[in-house]
A and B are shown apart, each in its own frame.
Chain A
Amino acid sequence: MSAGVRTASTDMTPTSSKRSVPGASVLFDAPGPRARRRIRIASGISIAAIVVIIALGVHQFADHGQLDAAKWEPFTQWPIWRFLLTGLLGTLEAAALTAVLGSALGMVMALGRLSKVRVIHYAAATYIEIMRTLPVLLMIYVTLFALPAYGINLPLVWKLVAPLTVANSAAFAEIFRAGILGLPRGQEEAALSIGMTRGQAIRLVVLPQAVRIVTPSVVSQLVSLLKDTSLGFVVSFSELLFKGQVLSTFNHLLIQTFLVVTLIYLVVNGSLSTVAHRLQRWTARRTSRGGKPGVAAPPGMALTPMIGEGHHE
Chain B
Amino acid sequence: MITHPRRRGRMVAALALMVGGAMVLSACGSSTPSSTASSSSQQSSSSSSPSSSSEQSSSSSSSQSPSESSGSSSSGSSSATAPAPTATPDTIDSIIGSAQVADAASILPGSTMEKIKQRGQLIVGEALDAPLLSQQDPTTGKVEGFDADLAKALAVYILGKPNVKIVNPSTETREALLSNGTVDVVFNTYTITTDRAKQVDFAGPYFTSGLAVAVKSSNDTIKGIADLAGKTVIVGANTPAVTEVPKQQPTAKIVSFGTDPECVQALIQGRGDAYVQDITLLASDAAANNQMKVVGQPFTSEPYGIGLKHGDTQFKEFVNNWLKSIESDGLWANIWKATLGTVVQSEPPTPPAIGSVPGS
Contacts and interface: CB of A to CB of B under 8 A. Distances in A.
A79 to B, nearest CB: 4
B28 A252 contact: no
A252 B82 contact: yes
B138 A238 contact: no
Given A77-B78, A137-B21, A236 B32 contact: no
Interface string A70-82: 0001100101100
Contacts of B128: 246
Interface residues of B, number: 65
Contact of A153 (B24, B32, B81): B32
A114 interface: no
A251 B81 contact: yes
Contacts of B48: 236, 246
Given A137-B21, A148-B5, A237 B29 contact: yes
Interface in B22-40: 22-35
B134 interface: no
B261 A252 contact: yes
A230 to B, nearest CB: 9
Interface in A126-145: 137, 141, 144-145
A251 B345 CA distance: 22
B275 to A, nearest CB: 14
Contacts of A137: 21-22
A234 B9 CA distance: 16
A14 B78 CA distance: 47
Given A74-B81, A145-B9, A156 B31 contact: yes
Nearest to A156: B32
B100 interface: no
Contact of B135 (A231, A248, A250): A250
Contacts of B50: 236
Contact of B60 (A231, A245, A252): A245
B9 A148 contact: yes
Contact of A235 (B1, B30, B66, B288): B30
Nearest to B36: A156
Contacts of A146: 9
A153 B30 CA distance: 10
Nearest to B10: A149
B16 interface: yes
Contacts, number: 171
A285 to B, nearest CB: 42
Contacts of B138: 79-80, 83, 243, 246-247, 250
Given A149-B5, A150-B5, A83 B139 contact: yes
A254 interface: yes
A79 B139 contact: yes
Interface string B276-293: 000000000100110000
Given A74-B80, A77-B77, A155-B34, A243 B259 contact: no
A78 to B, nearest CB: 9
Contact of A238 (B12, B44, B82, B288): B44
Given A74-B81, A237-B29, A251 B66 contact: yes
Given A249-B260, A250-B62, A144 B29 contact: yes
Contacts of A86: 44-45
B23 A250 contact: no
B260 A246 contact: no
B24 A79 contact: no
A245 B22 CA distance: 12
B79 A249 contact: no
Most buried by A among B49, B62, B139: B139
B21 A234 contact: yes
A98 B85 CA distance: 44
Interface string A150-180: 1101111101000000000000000000000
A246 B2 CA distance: 28
B46 interface: yes
B47 A155 contact: no
Contacts of B6: 149
A242 interface: yes
B262 interface: yes
B45 A243 contact: yes
A259 to B, nearest CB: 13
The 10 A-B pairs of least Cβ separation, nearest first, read A249-B62, A74-B80, A236-B47, A235-B29, A79-B139, A149-B9, A236-B26, A83-B138, A156-B32, A254-B261
Given A146-B9, A149-B8, A252-B288, 6 more contacts: A80-B139, A83-B138, A234-B29, A235-B30, A246-B136, A252-B82
Interface of B: 1-3, 5-6, 8-9, 12-13, 16, 21-35, 44-50, 60-66, 77-82, 128-129, 131, 135-140, 170, 258-262, 264-265, 285, 288-289
17 contacts: A79-B77, A83-B138, A86-B45, A144-B12, A149-B5, A153-B2, A233-B22, A236-B30, A243-B45, A246-B138, A249-B131, A250-B62, A250-B137, A250-B138, A251-B66, A252-B66, A252-B285
